Amino acid sequence: MKRFFRESAAIVQVELIKLVRDPTEIISRAVQPLLWLVVFGQVLAQVRGIQTGQLSYLAFITPGILAQSVLFSAIFYGIAIIWERDLGVVHKLLVSPALRISLVFGKAVAAGFRGILQAVVIYLIALVMHVSLRLDPLAIFAVLVSVMLGSGIFATFSLVIACIVKTRERFMGIGQLLTMPMFFASNAIYPLEIMPGWLRFIAQINPLTYLIDALRGLMITGGESVHGYATDFTVMFAVFGVLLFIAVKLYPTLAE
C-alpha cells in the first residue's frame, strides 16, 4: 500500500509541476464556464421556462457548469496519454517496476487537482454573480472530494478510450462525440423531471448526473441531492472502480 501511494504521488507530483509551469490550459478552460454562467445562465434565467424549484436558474446550473468543466477538462486527458505514448514516456513508465494501478491512479488524481482549480474559478464567478453558495468548510471539502472523484472518473474513462483508439485524430473525434451528449443527457442545465422518458433513462445511467446531483446539494444554499448523497457517492466510487480496473488492464497495451 505504501508503495502504491509513493508511486502514485510521484506521478501526481510530475503532473502538478507541469501544470504550475504552464497554466495556460487552466486559464483557457476558465473561459467556457464564464460564458455558460454569464451569458447562457443569465439569458435563460430571464426566460423562466425551466422549473428549478426554489433555486434560481443561475444557482441551478452552477453545479452543472462545474461538472461540465470537470468533464471537458478530464475527458481530453487521453490526448495527453496518446502524446506520451508517441514520445515513448508510456514505454518508460511501463518498463519500470511501478504498479500499473499506481500509474493510472496517479494520472486520475492529477486530473482531480486540475478539476479543483476549475472549481476555484467557478466559485469565484458564482460569487461575483451573487449565486448563494454554501461556504461552510465541510460543504466545500465535500465539493472538492466530488470534483476529485468526478475528474478521476472522466480522466480514467478518457484513458480507456485512448488505449482503445491509440491515435490523437481518432481520439479527438470520439472525445467530441462523447462530451456534448454526456453533458446534455444529464441534469446539468435542466432537471431530470422535465426530460422525456428515454432521455431520463440515459441521464440516470450517466455518472455525470450523480456528480451534478451531489454538487447541487453541497454547493448551493437550499440545493438538495435528489438521489441522496449515499447513492451519488456509491455510484461514483463504483464507476471509478470499474474504470480503474479496465484502465489498468488496457494501459500496458499502449506500449505494444
Residue 53's nearest CA partner among 198, 199, 192, 154 is 192
Please give the Cα distance from 113 to 119 (Å, whole number): 10
Q: Under a CB-based contact definition with an 8 Å cutoff, are residues 209 and 53 in contact?
A: no
Q: Which is nearer to other proteins, 167 or 176 (CB)?
A: 167
Question: What is the enclosing helix (H) or strand (E) of 208?
Answer: helix 207-219
- Is 252 a binding residue for other proteins by CB under 8 A? The answer is yes
Binding marks (x or -) toward other proteins, 72..111, rule CB under 8 A? --------------xxxx-xxxxxxxx-------------
- Is 169 a binding residue for other proteins by CB under 8 A? The answer is no
- Is 238 a binding residue for other proteins by CB under 8 A? The answer is no
Q: Which is nearer to other proteins, 14 or 120 (CB)?
A: 14
C-beta neighbour count of 204 within 10 angstroms: 16
Q: Under a CB-based contact definition with an 8 Å cutoff, are residues 162 and 81 in contact?
A: yes
Q: Which three cell numbers, joined as nine digits, stand for 167?
A: 491515435
**Closest approach of Cβ 85 to other proteins, in Å?**
9
**Closest approach of Cβ 243 to other proteins, in Å?**
23
Binding marks (x or -) toward other proteins, 27..66, rule CB under 8 A? ----------------------------------------
Residue 188's nearest CA partner among 214, 153, 218, 151 is 214
**Closest approach of Cβ 157 to other proteins, in Å?**
24
* Residue 133, strand partner residues: 220
Give the binding site for other proteins (CB under 8 A).
3, 6-7, 9-10, 13-14, 17-18, 21-22, 86-89, 91-98, 252, 255-256
